[in-house]
Amino acid sequence: MLTDCLTQFEKQQEECLTITLLANSLWKDRKVLCLYHGYSLVDEKVEYLLNFHRQSVAELTPYKLHNILEIIKDLMCLPELPAVIDIGLLKDSFDESQLINKESLIAKLWSIHLQHTLK
């Protein structure tokens, strides 16, 4: 049981590190700021993201590192992006059962961007 917990913790650390690296890359290379419900993912420490994850799990909110990581990976492949992307809002705009593919990601991304731009 302890081994399983340690393995899960190491996996979460790796996911947090990858999220931070990709968010930093988007910022540095493409001037795209990645947020998670208003909190910047750029230059964040792994411990901060893990702590945020633990607090969310305790509150039973749907914060899944794997989903966030997959969305950021998909964003890296898109040719054009808005200057600010709230990945939390983007993730929450999909139903749990809904498949996230390139086309649906682009549609949701720009829909959210336009909603916040027009306010």
Half-sphere exposure of residue 4: CA atoms within 13 angstroms, side-chain side: 1
C-alpha triplet 23, 114, 66: angle, nearest 5° = 35
Domain count, the chain: 1
Give the pTM: 0.81
Q: What is the residue range of 24's domain?
A: 2-117
> Tell me, what amino acid is at 61?
T
| Per-residue pLDDT tens listing for the chain (119 residues) | 888 888 988 888 898 889 999 999 999 999 999 998 888 889 877 777 777 666 655 444 445 788 888 899 999 999 889 999 998 888 888 877 777 888 888 888 888 878 877 66
The helix-helix angle for 46-58 and 2-30 (nearest 10°) equals: 120
> Tell me, what amino acid is at 68?
I
Partner residues linked to 33 by β-bridges:
84
